[in-house]
Each structure stands twice: as structure tokens, then as C-alpha cells.
Amino acid sequence: MSEQRHGDSGADLNLVGVTKSFGAFTAVDDLSLTVPQGSFFALLGASGCGKTTTLRMIAGLEEPTAGRILLGDQDVTRLRPYKRPVNTVFQSYALFPHLNISDNVAFGLRRRGVKGVADQVERMLRLVDLESFGKRKPAQLSGGQQQRVALARALINHPQVLLLDEPLGALDLKLRRQMQVELKRIQTEVGITFVHVTHDQEEAMTMADTVAVMNAGKIEQLGSPVEMYDYPGTAFVANFLGQSNLFAGGVTGRSGDDVLVEAHGARFSLPATRARAADGSVWLGVRPEKMHLAAALDKVPAGHQSVTGIITDSSYVGVSTQYLVRPAWGDELTVFVPNSGVAAPLAVASEVTVHWRPEHAFLLSRPEGQTVAPVVDAEALA
């Protein structure tokens, strides 16, 4: 598969201080990042956060207002799209409606003057499981099949970087899950750098080695899905990547290796290794599935942190039951209890104690005066 490879392959993608403004609006703001060769990188963010603009600048479809884009040693910032060893899988697929599937897939090779492409096209269609569809027109294929054609059409060129712009957005949930696994398999197989833009945090976490969460044209945090989920860097990330219960509080001091926090009149502690702020206003965060429910305070295991409240709602979602618990200060906590058959379900309106291990909490700095955690507008995700 390496005979068509473009230039030298040991090349990382580098964005250096890239800015893109549309009039007075800054879509991408002084963005710098490195995508290592061969990795699966996800740019995650709500719509309007600048992730698609970033992708289009890498593809050459937009020109940065400032900054540089490098592929290995090559500066591609001002290079026309057709001169870049980069290919894109478009959100709308953008398959050529007048060409059949084989001709769509062969398009890139033919434009580069490659002769005898039939074998490669066939091999590529086999990779995406569409070997018998070569003679059909795009309109005769289902959404999932078109998606795979778009992927094959880009991959056949062996780009140094493959860009995927919300490629699974138009598929239904079940097909999307299937394609996530498929994409990851193909990426591992071909070893090409994938840069995947999505607003779906689950999609980003399932597939990517590295996730960059973008907000308002900047990268909020960048890291592996596990480390970002386990120990988010900002309140935005804590709520964007999964859900978090955040208590607005302040650091009151230290006790050995623990940081002491006071929030809503209650005292908490957590290991200093889990704290991103050592003093001042903070958010104390705990993931809903790391919280447990006890019927009474004396049933809380030793060493756990706890809050007492009233169950205001419970919803059964099969694998778990999601409870809303209102503590004395009002802001409801979300608690996921796995339906493993160990504990009996708890009734709404009963009093419970929510508890968690101190090392499962995390501490984030909180801008003075911010009392409501930044949440992502569900509309912006649509």
C-alpha cells in the first residue's frame, strides 16, 4: 500500500499560532497544536467553536489570517488544496453525483496522472466493504455506504493527513457506533494521521488517541480521552466531556497531602495531586458514576466524602439508574447507580447520603464571581 505515498511519511502536522478572522469575528484564535504522525486526533467542540474552520485551513479551503501550518518540514500555509498531501472526508460526503462509485474513488489518483487505477480502486472498495458497488451511482447508495465511499475516495490517495469533518453526523445512532469501530480499524490498518472534527464527545473518546476540546476559537484542553475524562482541566471540559457535579467553593488550607475545601458550608478534602488550584475560588468536581448513594450517614464507608440530600427524580436507563439528589443548598447532583442487582432501588423523596472517595474528586480554579458552571448549550450541539 505504500507505492503511492506522498513525499516523506515521517511528518507531524503542526499548527503554529493560527488565527482566522471573518470580519470582526475571530473563528480561530492563535491556535497552536501538534498532531503526531500516525495518530488519531479529535477536535471536539460545540458548533461555532472554530473546529471546522481549523480543519478547512489544514485542507487549504480557507487561508489563515495569521500563523503557519506545517506538514513535517513543509510549510503548507499558502499552498493550494490540490497541491497538499491532505484529503478530506466531507460532512456532506460531497460525492460526485455524475460519476459512479469506482470513478469517484479513482478521482484523486487520475488527477495526479496515475495509470491503471482499477486494482487500487478494487482494493480500496474491499477495505470499506463495498466491492460489488463500483458501477452504481452515489444516489443509489444508503447514507452509510456513501460515507464509506467518501472515506475510500480520500484514503486511496494515501494522504499524509486525512481530515474528517463530522463524517458520521448524518448517520443514525446504531450505524454511527458501527462506523466508529470501522473507522478506528481502518485507521490502525492504514496508519495514516486522522484529524477528526466532531461535536460528539462519545465519538471523540471512542476513536481518538488524543482529543482537543475547543471553545471560542481556542483549545481548552488537549490530552488522551482517559486522562481528560478522569482529571479535566477546566469546568467547561468537565461538563463537555461527559457530565460533572461541580460545587462552587473555596480552598481553606492544607492538611498533609490533602487540600481542604469549603463549599456551601460543608467541608471537603481531596489529594493535592487532584487539584489544579491551590487557593482561592474553586470548583470541586465529582463524576456522577463516581458518586454512590447510602440510605443513612452511618452506612458511608470510612474515608469517603459525603453530602446529604433528598432524591428529587430517578430515571431508569437500563444499564444504570440516574438519580437527581438535592442537597441543602439546592443545586441538584446527578448520581449514576449501576443496575448490578446489588442494591434495591431508592424511592423519590427519600433522604439519602451521596458519598465518594476523595481521590475521585478533582479541583479546578473558578473565576471570582462565577457560581454557575459553564454548560454546553444543547442547541449548539445539534
Partner 1 sequence: MSALGHVGGSTGTPAKLEKPRKRWLPYLLLLPGGLWLILFFAVPAIQLFATSLYDPSGSLEEGYAMTWQFSNYADAASEYLPHFMRSLGYAALTTVICLLLGYPLAYAIALKGGRWKNLLLICVIAPFFTSFLIRTLAWKVILSDNGWVVTTLDALHVPLPDGRLLATTPAVIAGLVYNFLPFMVLPLYASLEKLDPRLLEAAGDLYARPVARFTRVALPLSMPGVVAGTLLTFIPAAGDYINAQLLGTNRQYMIGNVIQSKFLRVGDYPNAAALSFTLMAAILVLVFVYVRRAGTDEVL
Count CA atoms closer than 13 A to 350's CA, side-chain side.
13
> Which lies closer to partner 1 via its Cβ, residue 107 or residue 283?
107
Binding segment toward partner 1, per CB under 8 A, in 44-52, 75-83, 257-265, 357-365: 75-83
**Which residue carries 487557593 as its cell?**
279
Q: Which is nearer to partner 1, 80 or 115 (CB)?
A: 80
Choose one: 66-74, 80-88, 171-179, 294-302; the region binding partner 1 (CB under 8 A): 80-88
CA distance 329 to 376: 23
Closer to partner 1 by Cβ: residue 20 or 360: 20
Nearest approach in angstroms of CB 88 to partner 1 is: 5
Paired strand residues for 351 = 310
CB of 196 to partner 1, least distance (A): 16
- Grid coordinates representing 365 are 480554579
User: How many residues of this chain interact with partner 1, rule: CB under 8 A?
Assistant: 24
In whole angstroms, what is the distance from residue 252 CA to residue 269 CA?
Answer: 10
Q: How far is CA 92 from CA 88, 149, 151, 368, in A?
A: 11, 12, 12, 43
Does 111 help bind partner 1 (rule: CB under 8 A)? yes
Please give the Cα distance from 280 to 126 (Å, whole number): 58
By CB under 8 A, residue 135 contacts partner 1: no
Min separation Cβ 145 and partner 1, Å: 17
Q: List the one residue from 3, 24, 25, 98 that touches partner 1 (CB under 8 A).
A: 98
Q: Is residue 167 part of the contact set for partner 1 (CB under 8 A)? A: no
Give least dist CB 287 to partner 1, A.
39
3 state DSSP class of 274: helix
Q: Which contacts (CB < 8 Å, 24+ apart) does range 125-133 have?
A: 125/101, 125/152, 127/152, 127/155, 127/186, 127/189, 128/152, 128/182, 128/186, 130/101, 133/101
Contact segment (CB under 8 A) with partner 1 among 47-55, 57-65, 115-123, 262-270 equals: 57-65
Residue with smaller CB distance to partner 1, 137 or 326: 137
Q: What is the DSSP letter of 356?
A: E
* C-beta closer to partner 1: residue 163 or 335: 163
* Binding to partner 1, residues 255-284 (CB under 8 A): none
Beta strands per DSSP E along 90-169 = 161-165
Which residues contact partner 1 (rule: CB under 8 A)?
Answer: 59-61, 80-82, 86-88, 90, 92, 94-98, 107-108, 111-112, 137, 153-154, 157
